[in-house]
Amino acid sequence: MRIRSGPLALVAVASVVLAALWLNSCSSGASARSGPVDADRAMGHARAMVAFGPRPSGSPALLRNRDYIRDQLKALGLPAHEQNWDHFFGHDKKKLRLHNVWTEIPGQDPTNGPILIVAAHYDTKLCSGHDKPTSNFEFVGAIDGAGGSAVLLELARVLKSRKSVPNVWLVWFDGEESRTFEWDTSHAQSLVGSRYFVETMQKDKTRFPKGMARRVGAMVLLDLIGSKNPKVDRDLASNSTLLGLFEKVATETLGRTRKQGWFSYESPIEDDHYFFKQNGIKVIDLIDFHYRVPKTPDNPNAPTHPDYQAWWHTADDNLAAMDPASLKVIGDLLWFAMPELEKQVFQVMK
């Protein structure tokens, strides 16, 4: 995942300045409710994944993480589908085997009914073997990789017992992180798993005879999940209706307001929702990115805030930077959004 440069980035910075002028006028007046997502269960999944160590695509640790996800799904009585393919990275065409995992929680019509996709990536940034010494360090990706993946597993537990009207697909993408340390804007070495998932599903005439956009009513992406003092940013690539829906739930149900940083900071993000949007699907990226990028000699103008730890793509993205309650609040956000989200999903069939 990366923030785009250029005019949109300038707009994003300007919007943050404007937001600071009116944030104090926003308040919820609501008491926070608690949903069924279990913070300790979610944190247990995150700990298990981080214990595998760095998990870049093609690594043995990534395979152990994949096996862990599959085993957890099977223990819940859910199917563990898998996509396995070879991708050639870089100028030297290094061949790596990649693996997407997904499960289906059936709705009223598993064969033809509408689908809600909730996804995260489970690979971690490759932080070894680079020419620049500062790009080589122990990176276990607790928040950036394990957090969203852990919440997905906990959502699998709570959603499977819910009477889902649409079909719910939970997807774990491999190959989100750029193989080069700097973001690959061509996407030859970044967003590889989500692109492969969309391209192969578009060709699947059994599941999607008229294309994905005629069955997939929405795609919700979880990324950079689990930090202390969490928030959700306003991703400019996300669907405005979905942004409004999730912000309303955050404010009125969870008591998380713009004054607390929720849906306040705008960022144009390239992430695993990119190819879904390119193919006509409504998307939203629930991501905590703004203020998480540290100031460095290469990025001296990164905005910082004393309330938000800057751990992105550093060795500080570890278990100590996480809070189990942050995993729960994102899972609960999706849980409480489900009734209205389902209505959005059903519109795709009209």
pLDDT in tens, 203-233: 999 999 999 999 999 999 999 999 999 999 9
Structural tokens at position 318:
């570890």
Rounded mean pLDDT of 106-131?
96
How many degrees, rounded to 5, is the angle at CA 104 between CA 223 and CA 122? 30
The CATH number of the domain holding residue 79 is 3.40.630.10
pLDDT in tens, 232-271: 999 999 999 999 999 999 999 999 999 999 999 998 789 9
Give me the pLDDT at residue 3, please: 56
How many degrees, rounded to 5, is the angle at CA 142 between CA 32 and CA 263? 40
DSSP-derived letter for residue 112 is: T
Cβ atoms 121, 193 nearer than 8 A: yes
Rounded mean pLDDT of 124-133?
95
Domain containing 223: what range?
2-349
- Number of structural domains (the chain) is 1
Rounded mean pLDDT of 136-164?
95
Q: What is the pTM of this model?
A: 0.92
Q: Is 167 helix (H, G, I), strand (E, B) or coil?
A: strand
Q: Is 293 helix (H, G, I), strand (E, B) or coil?
A: coil
Q: How many of the other CB atoms lie within 10 Å of CB of 14?
A: 11
C-alpha 114/C-alpha 188 separation (Å) is 31
Give me the pLDDT at residue 183, please: 81
